[in-house]
Chains A and B, each alone.
Chain A
Amino acid sequence: MGVAEELAQDALVAALEQWPVSGIPAKPGAWLMGTAKHRAIDLLRRRKRLERKQEQLGHELLVSQQETAEKEFDAAMEDEMGDDLLRLIFVACHPVLSKDARVALTLRLLGGLTTEEIARAFLVPEPTIAQRIVRAKRTLAEAHVPFEVPRGAELAARLSSVLEVVYLIFNEGYSATAGDDWLRPELCEDALRLGRILAELVPTEPEVHGLVALMEIQASRLRARLGPSGEPVLLLDQDRGRWDQLLIHRGLKALERAEKLGGALGRYTVQAAIAACHARAGTPEETDWPGIAALYDALAQLAPSPVVDLNRAVALGMAFGPAAGLELADTLTSEPSLQNYAFLPSVRGDLLAKLGRLDEAQAEFARAASLTRNARQRKLLLERAAACKQGDLVPQQD
């Protein structure tokens, strides 16, 4: 056990050292094991040479022994490959690292992105990302983070850190918090693939399937989310014919897997269930809004946050009328963490517009436009503000 762990550690160190220079191989797991294997074979050969000196073994016997040892090692390594990838994911997402560092390291080591690509995707200068990765590696070394998959009670906490990173990467691609567009779909693909790999590596963890379900269903709408000139199209306005049915199907399957594993639903599974409500509706009118409102209620208890409440307000507004939604949304206006959150005034603007309070709605849309970091979102919000001014009622909802 000691030797195997040492070898894996060696391979990880080699990977961490070499990948930034030589670029990541297409299959990091396989490459990693290749390195460990070579080192192990070196070690075996050295040992054999030593034995030869000591015991004066016949040449033929030695060769055949060595070959057997190599073959056995090959077989063992094949089995270990998945485990090794899993260890790498857990190390890259270790809680000793900051969230930013975990994301950068995961994309670098597992997503196969170059430092430059990561920098471009997150709109930060390349040296910042390079430094983040160097510092992350140093932190891991200094903290003597073991190269292993955590067990027992620790697994749950560590897994949630891994899932968080994967979802962060997905969301960065999906919602484009800043800048225009480009390279974003690739982040979604990377996160989805990592999620799918994880689901096979730890198949008994319901939340992994919940997260995969959530990402599959959200990704199914990627094609429909942008209009012809690149402007965002909100969920209820999307052409559902352009939703990717294969991904929806995969998402619903993953959700089923999560639910079948039993236990209380986790936060990703609940969010997936919400996404599934939309995916199952052939038209916006068929959406099960009371069901969604109930799921948001469950989510608010699992992971209380003003943002969840805001979404709950939207669902309540759809299920029981704009006044019900506005009542909850109004309680959030004093929430410090939402002070600069564009979605709050945009939701309030929408509910106010539906209630015919156009002056207030216009002010809210204008405020939302001033807060968003996304150029295209800003354009859409300004259009809605202008529509309110002209007295046009253009209700929209996300």
Chain B
Amino acid sequence: MRFMIVIKANKESEAGIMPSQALLEEMGKYNEELVKAGVMLAGDGLHASSKGARVRFSGGKATVIDGPFAETKELIAGYWLWQVKSKEEAIEWLKRGPWATGSEEAAKLERRLGPFEIEIRQVIEADDLGDAYTPELREQDQRLRAQAAAKA
């Protein structure tokens, strides 16, 4: 099963301050470990919300709201996509991250910004779709397949 590991934003990430060289090196080592264990599929850090925007849809009309956004703790600063056997394994791997293994850099970060949370969310796979795969979708699917068959 796949999980998305969501790193929340903080004051510094929102201010556009990049992680220190030392922290980047520690993260690099951790990422390497994740890749070697066949866990890491993808992952990226995100720029501050000031570089982003929200698009609100209402009554078919789109309104663009430019960043930054206020609720720092609810914002996302980065993500990983992991392949693991269970949620427990994902938690185990998180516990091996630099923030949990006595890293000086992570400790400094915590002293400046306080405790932080990392969120683990399971990715929906095709098998989980169940009833959400509605008759309309099914019909569309069959139509597409019929078209493909006619063209072949």
Q: Report the separation of the CA atoms of residues A20 and B133 in the bound assembly, to the nearest whole angstrom.
A: 40
Interface residues on B, range: 20 to 34
Binding site for A on B (CB under 8 A): 1, 35-39, 41-42, 81, 83, 85-86, 88-89, 92, 125-127, 133, 137-138, 141-142, 144-145, 148-149, 151-152
Interchain CA distance A226-B141 in the complex, whole Å: 11
Nearest to A242 among chain B residues (CB) is B126
Task: Check if B148 sits within 8 Å of A284, measured CB to CB.
Answer: yes
Cα-based distance from A185 to B141 in the complex (angstroms): 22
| A66 to B102 alpha-carbon distance, docked (Å) | 23
A397 and B92 within 8 A (CB): no
Bound complex: CA A397 to CA B151 (Å): 12
Enumerate A168-202 residues with CB–CB distance to B below 8 Å. Answer: 185, 189, 192-197, 200-201
Q: Which residues of A contact B137 (CB under 8 A)?
A: 228
B36, B39, B81, B145: the one within 8 Å of A201 (CB): B36
Interface majority SS (helix, strand, loop, mixed), chain B: helix
Structural contact, B85 and A223, CB atoms closer than 8 A: no
Residues of B within 8 A of A395 (CB): 149, 152
**B38, B41, B81, B142: residue with the most chain A Cβ atoms closer than 10 Å:** B38
Bound-state CA distance A347–B51 (Å) is 54
Question: Given that A112-B85, A237-B148, A397-B152 are known contacts, is A197 also in contact with B37, CB under 8 Å in the complex?
Answer: yes
Closest to A227 in B: B141
Residues of A close to B86: CB separation below 8 A: 26
* Contact between chains at A82 and B36 (CB < 8 Å): yes
A233–B38 touching, CB < 8 Å: no
List of A residues within 8 angstroms of B133 by Cβ = 228
26 pairs, A vs B, C-beta closer than 8 Å: A26-B85, A26-B86, A26-B92, A185-B125, A185-B127, A192-B38, A192-B83, A193-B83, A194-B38, A196-B35, A197-B36, A197-B37, A200-B36, A201-B36, A227-B141, A237-B145, A237-B148, A239-B144, A239-B145, A242-B126, A246-B81, A284-B148, A284-B152, A285-B151, A395-B149, A397-B152
CB of A236 within 8 A of CB of B148, answer yes
Interface status of A4 (Cβ within 8 A of chain B):
no
A396, B152: Cβ atoms closer than 8 Å? yes
The distance in angstroms between the C-alpha atoms of A233 and B144, with both chains bound, is 12
Kindly state the separation between the CA atoms of A276 and B127 in the bound complex, as whole angstroms: 25
A231-273 residues at the B interface, CB under 8 angstroms: 233, 236-237, 239, 242, 246, 250
* Chain B residues with CB under 8 A of A27: 37, 89, 92
